[in-house]
Amino acid sequence: MSNASVHTGRHFLQIPGPTNVPDRVLRAMDMPTIDHRGPEFAQLGLEVIEGSKKVFKTKNPVIIYPSSGTGAWEAAIVNTLSPGDKVLMVETGHFATLWRAMADKLKLDVEFVPGDWRHGASPEDIEARLSKDKAHSFKAVMVVHNETSTGVTSRIHEIRKAIDAAKHPALLMVDTISSLGSIDYEHDKWGVDVTVSCSQKGLMLPPGLGFNAVSDKALEASKKNSSLRSYWDWHEIIAANKGGSWSYTPATNMLYGLKEAIAMLMEEGLDNVFARHKRYSAATRAAVETWGLENLCLDPREYSPILTAVVMPEGHDADQFRKVTLDNFDMSLGAGLSKIKGKVFRIGHLGHFNDLMLMGTLAGVEMALDLAKVPHRAGGVMSAMSVLTGRDAKASQAKTAVA
């Protein structure tokens, strides 16, 4: 066995989800199985349902499924839309494309706005398309908030304004699978009708829970659509949730973990959580810029706080670089997906994460760039450190004062 295959210490999981699960959450899940129809579970059920509303920032129902985010995608569609309904979707990356593929399978009529995978959904383009739709044939606008494959965050609040400016009644459906609990998001305030999410990203849990947060308008639509559904039906679950139960066997121990994860978010304070992720994003971008590498996201307004996708120099393979990183430093970086496979690697900096974990991550990347003989400049780690300690801000202020 070669030395490169033997590692001590902890593995660095720096993909943008599943993320590191805190010990507190793991210990909370390490409980005996209980009666999911009994009073102890009912109390837990009510607590996690109400706690989830705080994270989504909604007063309306949040439906929790034993599912992946893909299941939550399907639940959003089959509860609100009928086969043949026309929807507007935007190609922001790999996961927007997958959601579109599901919509096709469920027989929706999809208008898919092409994109370059380097920008988010354009509010201006959405407004223009809806303004032309005088017959209101579009029944929904479906957008990925944070595109995990590209590190691009779409401006959902501006998209809501665009829909309103067009005076269009389409539902607004948003995927927050990688953004919930890490990037500021306002289900009620932004007028979102269905918010889709899952457990293994900002909520710091293992995979296994899917979520739909729903507006009154979405609930009304769900009473009229003709899509067949049973497991995903909102109304049966909401009725059972009133007593802290579910209409089928819930993921009991995952809900113990969810309760603890919500407690951790509330203890830190959501605004502090969002600010922390922005710091890590800024520090990572500073490192990438110093290395002389390119950020896949081109619009500074759309930089993702939870991951940075880095473009490899021409002639260098991102997957080979990731292999060097894993073999030598026991660190997993995110792969490029679909049409950017081998062209980018993704640095996840979200969830249960702190300054030293980020510095260790970036040090591993810089060392691996050397070993993989990827053209770059040294000093990225120092640039990131300056952001985290505030030295870059102080230097900028000093320059401004001298000027």
pLDDT surpassing 70 at residue 400: no
Q: Domain ranges for the chain, please list them.
A: 10-16+268-393, 22-265
Residues in the annotated binding site: 346
Point out which residues pair with 197 in neighbouring strands: 211
Is 22-265 the same fold as 10-16+268-393?
no
pLDDT surpassing 50 at residue 1: no
Given this model, what pLDDT does residue 402 score?
A: 46
Supply 250's token pair: 């819930």
pTM value is 0.94
How would you classify residue 59: left for phi > 0, otherwise alpha for psi between -120 and 50, otherwise beta? alpha
pLDDT tens digits, one per residue of 287-303: 999 999 999 999 999 99
92, 175, 190, 298, 347 from 186: Cα distances, Å? 21, 13, 6, 25, 26
Residues in the annotated binding site for substrate: 346
CA 370, CA 59: separation in Å to the nearest integer?
A: 51
Q: Are 287 and 384 in contact (CB under 8 A)?
A: yes
> Which segments of 292-317 does DSSP mark as H helices, in order?
none
Given this model, what pLDDT does residue 393 score?
A: 58
pLDDT tens digits, one per residue of 55-83: 999 999 999 999 999 999 999 999 999 99
pLDDT tens digits, one per residue of 205-257: 999 999 999 999 999 999 999 999 999 999 999 999 999 999 999 999 999 99
pLDDT tens digits, one per residue of 361-390: 999 999 999 999 999 999 999 999 999 999
Q: Above pLDDT 90, what percent of the chain?
A: 95
Q: Taking the CA of residue 118 as centre, how many other CA atoms within 13 Å lie in the half-sphere pointing to its CB? A: 11
CATH 3.90.1150.10 fits 10-16+268-393, yes or no: yes
Given this model, what pLDDT does residue 396 score?
A: 53
The DSSP secondary-structure symbol of 305 reads S
Q: What is the mean pLDDT of the chain?
A: 95
22-265 — its CATH code?
A: 3.40.640.10
Q: Are 255 and 206 in contact (CB under 8 A)?
A: no
